[in-house]
Amino acid sequence: MRFDSLLDSLGHTPLVGLPRLSPSADVRLWAKLEDRNPTGSVKDRPALWMIDKAEKEGRLTPGCTILEPTSGNTGISLAMVARLRGYKMICVMPENTSAERTQLLKMWGAQIIPSPAAGGSNEAVRVAKGLAAEHPDWVMLYQYGNEANARSHYETTGPELLEDLPSITHFVAGLGTTGTLMGVGRFLRERVPDVAIVAAEPRYGELVYGLRNIDEGFVPELYDESVLTTRYSVTSEAALRRTRELLGAEGIFAGISTGCALHAALGMADKAVKAGNRADIAFVVADAGWKYLSTGAYDGTVDEAEKRLEGQLWA
Amino acid sequence: MAIEVRIPTILRNYTDGAKAVEGGGATLDELFADLEARHPGLRDRLVDDKGLRRFVNVYLNDEDVRFLGGLDTQVSDGDTVTVLPAVAGG
């Protein structure tokens, strides 16, 4: 396959079957390999669409500075596009994210403003909103409320999935900004009767929920509960175990949030088997495992890895 | 009466610091009322007059109760209910 530039190669990622983890010929699991994007994550899609939209609207002009709260992947994707398009990039990132993310961001030329570990991404959002108010010339694309985030998945990820798997019955993805689930979910619901849209939400260690007040919680503006069929909370232990199973059984080296999605996908597969229904369950491999090597996620026992991951943001 | 309810750090001032408490009831609403009897003030942090508070997520055996039946969700002995504040990802 030949493309005019790196950005032109974005998307059209492989959908691969999981013959060993699928419970039967009638209940099958399929992995959408979003790590095969230019910077190695699903976030390349929303990053490009958000920047394209801001350019069309005249919000972004050459020399502008982009500001974004991010736990990593969105920042990396934005930094890559920003570099190619001539923008400065500032990321507000929680300090409890992996070392690889910081290095990658700097490599693509982004400046990082750390936000406190306690409170996780909520704090990054709060800090970024404050900075945006102080610097009205900076452009905050704001992935949590930017319609182009979900739109990128409605226009690309969704159609790719349906083309490759017309018999799809379930779509499972991690819940962060909710952009993937909202975009793909809406696209599939319009075309596939009774399709199940399932969210897998990472459950972190207690530090990440270290809010001062329950009313400081955060629900992304993009989130529309009616798009989802259901939503599961997945522990770090389950996510780590599934990440390793995916590598051991199918050879796929994925990031930890993929294990989270796989855990929910396997739960759906189990329900389909028990109900005697056929199922084609597609889930998102949001990124590969490279960025998490330093967390020790793949080293030693799952228990040891879980302890090392305590207090880290892994999705 | 043995439904385990896991309490987030931020609400443990209502449970004398306990990470998990036990309660009973046929529905989530009854369970929260039962907890309120021993942990006064807790229910008000979870529920307002419109139902579950916006930034409170409650999971029955890891599934979000908003997709099960909200406060009318059926619960039974041996279930685990987890309360978590809503946080951002991405």
So what's the pLDDT on residue A311? 73
Taking the CA atoms of residue A232, residue A233, residue A235 and residue A241 in that order, the dihedral angle to the nearest 10 degrees is: 20
What percent of chain A lies above the pLDDT cut of 90? 83
> Is some CB atom of chain A closer than 8 A to the CB atom of B82?
yes
Catalytic residue among A22, A32, A43, A121: A43
Residue B90 has pLDDT above 90, yes or no: no
- pTM, 2 dp: 0.95
Task: Work out the pLDDT band at A85, boundaries 50, 70, 90.
Answer: very high
The class of domain A44-140 in CATH terms is alpha beta
Name the B residues in 9-38 with CB < 8 Å from any A CB: 9-11
Task: Work out the pLDDT band at A72, boundaries 50, 70, 90.
Answer: confident
Task: Work out the pLDDT band at A24, boundaries 50, 70, 90.
Answer: very high
Domains of chain B: 3-85 (3.10.20.30)
Residue A29 to residue A138: CA distance in whole angstroms: 43
Residue A85 to residue A5: CA distance in whole angstroms: 12
Residue A135 has pLDDT above 70, yes or no: yes
Q: Which residues pair with B20 in a beta bridge?
A: B6
The string of pLDDT tens digits covering residues A273-301 is 999 999 999 999 999 999 999 888 898 89
So what's the pLDDT on residue A128? 95
Cβ–Cβ < 8 Å for B65, B84 = no
Distance, C-alpha A303 to centroid of its chain: 24
Q: Do B87 and A229 touch (CB under 8 A)?
A: no
The string of pLDDT tens digits covering residues B42-65 is 999 999 999 999 999 999 999 999
The string of pLDDT tens digits covering residues A196-212 is 999 999 998 777 776 66
Q: For all residues of chain A together, what is the average pLDDT?
A: 94
Q: Do A214 and B10 touch (CB under 8 A)?
A: yes
Residue B1 has pLDDT above 80, yes or no: no
Q: Do B85 and A214 touch (CB under 8 A)?
A: yes
> Is some CB atom of chain A closer than 8 A to the CB atom of B8?
yes
- Listed by start position, the domains of chain A span 7-36+157-306, 44-140
What percent of chain B lies above the pLDDT cut of 70? 98
Tokens of A315: 């999705």
Q: Which residues of B touch A120 (CB under 8 A)?
A: 87-88
The domains spanning A7-36+157-306 and A44-140 adopt the same CATH topology: yes
Q: Which CATH architecture has domain A7-36+157-306?
A: 3-Layer(aba) Sandwich (3.40)
Q: Do A219 and B53 touch (CB under 8 A)?
A: no
ipTM score: 0.93
How is the beta sheet containing A65-69 ordered, strand by strand?
A: A111-115, A88-94, A65-69, A139-140
Residue B80 to residue B66: CA distance in whole angstroms: 16
